[in-house]
Amino acid sequence: MPPQKPAGLWLRLIAFGWDYLVILAYLIPLVAVGASAYRFAPEVAATLFSNPVRAQAVGFALITLPVTLYFALSEAAPKQATWGKSRAGLAVVDAGGSRLSLSRSVVRTAVKFVPWELAHFFIWQISFAGNPESPFYAAGFIGVWALLGTDLAAMFIGGKRQTLHDRAAGAFVVRASSVT
């Protein structure tokens, strides 16, 4: 465990709220461009979203990948924090209190966004499904919520305040004032 004081749930949620503003600043123009494409170039939009696999790939490339890179690159950078974590006074460190390597930051972020990407998968499947009422989709979304709940519950097990994605990367979210 690093020598710094681990951050609690509320500070981490506040930081994610700030980071969500960054995500929205990216998504709003993206949605506007997408809406324009549907209006002015419907054949292009129809091609991009013609089946669930292609739609998933486009969504991943345009949404998940940029957001994942934002988190992974920011937390591996010298500041050790995204904009939101920085505003909330937090930093991401390894067990020795040092900056995470890029590979560990990517692992942490990838594990964090597994539920998010699974939710996207099920949304795309439902949008193309012949039977959107299938129990398969309900089970999928229950699984997504179970993963999110397990990730958060892990913070309260072991006394180190680590989520599953923190544990996967050997990372800790700490108060930045205590980062040396």
**Confidence at residue 35, expressed as pLDDT on a 0 to 100 scale:** 86
- Of 41, 103, 30, 75, which Cα lies nearest the Cα of 179? 75
Domain count along the chain: 1
Per-residue pLDDT tens over the stretch 50-75:
888 888 888 899 999 999 999 999 99
CA–CA gap between residue 9 and residue 125 (Å, rounded): 32
The mean pLDDT value for 152-176 works out to: 92
In a domain, 2, yes or no: no
Angle between helices 102-112 and 114-128 (to 10 degrees): 40
In a domain, 165, yes or no: yes
In a domain, 102, yes or no: yes
What band does 154 get if pLDDT is binned at 50, 70 and 90? very high
**Domain membership of residue 157 as a residue range:** 9-178
In a domain, 74, yes or no: yes
Length in residues, the chain: 180
Assess contact for 6 and 17: CB atoms under 8 A: no
